Each structure stands twice: as structure tokens, then as C-alpha cells.
Amino acid sequence: MPNVGKSTVFNSLTRVYAEAQNYPFTTIEPNLGVAVVPDERLGALASAVGSRRAVPVTVDFVDIAGLVKGASEGEGLGNQFLGHIRECEAIAHVVRCFTDENVAHVHEGVDPAGDIETVNTELLLADLATVERRLERTGRAAKSGEKKLVEEAKVLERLRDHLSNGNPARTFGDREPVEETVATLITAKSTLYVANVDESSLAEGDSYSAEVEKLAEREGAEAVRLSAKLETEISELPEAEAKEYLEMLGVESTGFEQFIRASYRLLDLITFFTANEKECQARTLRNGSTARTAAGKVHTDMEHGFIAAEVGNWKDIVDAGGWAKAREGAKVHLEGRDYVVKDGDVLLIRFNA
């Protein structure tokens, strides 16, 4: 929704400092930013290997305009909003859980459940329109009696009914004949709910954030709690002062760190490392990917000419005091192209140029 703190959250994540004001649709064109994923393993590994530079993993964030009731029919920024959201891999749905008479609310009151319902309903209606158009085309073609088209039309009918009953596309099963259609739907995207709370509610939460967490649990989604206002204040403090401030509030880490990590999990990513004297780099990889795919993340030549990969766990290498010593201590093993890379693996890739 407008005025829930999206741009303020975005600013604290990416330091882009997009305009954030007390009126709806301050954001019209999407703001693009990159956030560093906090990972203590990177520094420890770089130190053990003697790397001169450490390069962290990043996640791209897009701050888009608020959505209002009727967006699926063109209200607010309507189709423009929906087009922007379709381009993203996952959705972080920021929900207002704070009271502030100086910040207007489009519904004249804080209502997390109502706001979530409004947004989700508009996304469902947009998806329903997409499916109905597809069903109309497929239904006409299926009159030819072609078995594949008849089956596709039947599955599209079930998908239409699924959405009509208020269920997101991501919970629709038996989708193989219409996988391409489902992939284009907004509600097929994984969703993270972000409860934007008052500073005083950050540590323990309140009834508003509890409502968001309960709704997220019901959907099988994840929820994080943060205070965008606090995140902004902390981002301007020296590290020592920021840590002291958080301790005073009874919070171990910033909501920013929790949000980044949750976003990373939402995309079903893991981190693997490559490390040498020049550079230690954290790299992203889809969970379940192979060593050959990981090689391609380093360089396409490595994927095409892949021979094998020496693999060690980051902690084993740190504990051993470096790659060579870990190898001497039998903490490094040789794996082929089909080895499934694990989170925290360090890879040394052998390949033909």
C-alpha cells in the first residue's frame, strides 16, 4: 500500500536514498538498488586464505509504487504497478504496523490484515484476468479435439477456480500442462511479509506485527519485523554506536540483516566461495545446483571446459589456516560435474580453457 514505508525500507537496505514523503505515490518510476548480504564467513575465509580483497554477495531490490484497491482495473498506477512487479523474481510485501499521525494512511487507520487483503486481492484479480484470457484462447483451439489442448484447457479451468477461491498461484498443484502460464502470474512468486513497526515494538512485536506473522504462517510464507525509521537512524551512526543503540533496545541484529537473509532464502539461493591470494568472493547459486553450474557462475569458460572441482567447507579451511593446509589435512575432496554444491562450500575449479 502507499505510505507504509517501502521507500524508507528500500533506502536502509540499499543506501540509494529514493524519495520518501508523506503522500501516496511518491514513488512512480521504480527505484533500483543493490544490497550486500551480511556474511561473517567471508571475512574469516579471506583472512585464512590471505586474500587481498573480499567480495560479498548482493541482492537487487526494486522499490515500486504503492498499490490501491482497483489496481487490477487501472486505479492508482494500475497496470504500470503490475508490470513492474511481474519483472521481479520475488515480492517483499511491506505492511504498515506503526501509528504516526504525521504519516497519512490511505484507509484512515492502521489495518495490517485489511491492507494485505487489498493487495493480495488485486494481485489475484490481475492473475485471474490473465488466466481467463489464456483459457479463452485455449478453449477455442481445443475444439479441434487435440488431446494436448483439451488437457491444457481442463487444467486452466482448475487454475481459474483456484484463483477465484482466493488462493495464490504458488499453491496450485498439477500444473505441468500450464507451467509457462503459471510462471507469468504474480501470485506464483514467493512472498516475504515485512512488518514495519514502531521502534518500541521492534524487540517484542505488537498486535499489528503478530497479525502479519499469523497471516504469513497461514500462507506458508515468511515474515520479518523491522522499524524502517530506526533502520534509517542506525545507518547514519558509527558501527560502535549503532551496536550500542541496538543493545539498549534489546535487539541483537538490525531488521535490515534479517530482511536481507530472508530475501536470500526466499529466492532459494545458497552461497559458495572461491578464494585465492588475490580475491575471496562469495557467489550465489540456486539450491540444488551442480559444481559445473557453479563453475559457470565464475566464468562461462569454466563451465564449458569443466574437468573437476576441489571442494572444502569454509570452516574446515578457516580452522586449518588456509587452503593448502586443509588439503594436507584431508579436508578437501575432488568432485565431478554432478556434485551438488552445498551452502558454505569453497570451490577450486579445474577446467580446459
The rounded average pLDDT for each run of 10 residues, N- to C-terminus, in the chain (353 residues) is 81 62 49 86 96 92 73 50 80 89 69 90 91 92 87 93 92 86 91 90 86 90 88 80 82 79 89 95 96 95 95 97 93 96 96 87
Query: Which CATH architecture fits 269-351?
Result: Roll (3.10)
pTM here is 0.80
Residues of the chain with CATH 3.10.20.30: 269-351
Give, in words, the CATH class of 124-185: mainly alpha
Contact 9, 196 (CB under 8 A): yes
Start-end of CATH 1.10.150.300 domains in the chain: 124-185
CA distance 171 to 188: 8
> Which residues make up the CATH 3.40.50.300 domain(s) of the chain?
6-36+60-117+188-266
| Cβ neighbours for 316, distance < 8 A, ≥ 6 positions apart | 326, 329, 331, 332
Instruction: Give start and end residues of each alpha helix (H) in the chain.
Output: 6-14, 40-49, 78-86, 112-142, 147-164, 179-183, 207-219, 228-235, 239-249, 255-266, 291-298, 300-304, 314-320, 323-328
Q: What is the DSSP string of 265-318?
A: HHTTEEEEEEE-SSEEEEEEEETT-BHHHHHHHH-HHHHHTEEEEEEEEHHHHH
Q: Dihedral, CA atoms, 226, 228, 230, 233, nearest 10 degrees?
A: 140
Instruction: Give the model's pLDDT for residue 320.
Output: 96
Domain 6-36+60-117+188-266, CATH number (from 3.40.50.1220, 3.40.605.10, 3.40.50.300, 3.40.50.11260)? 3.40.50.300
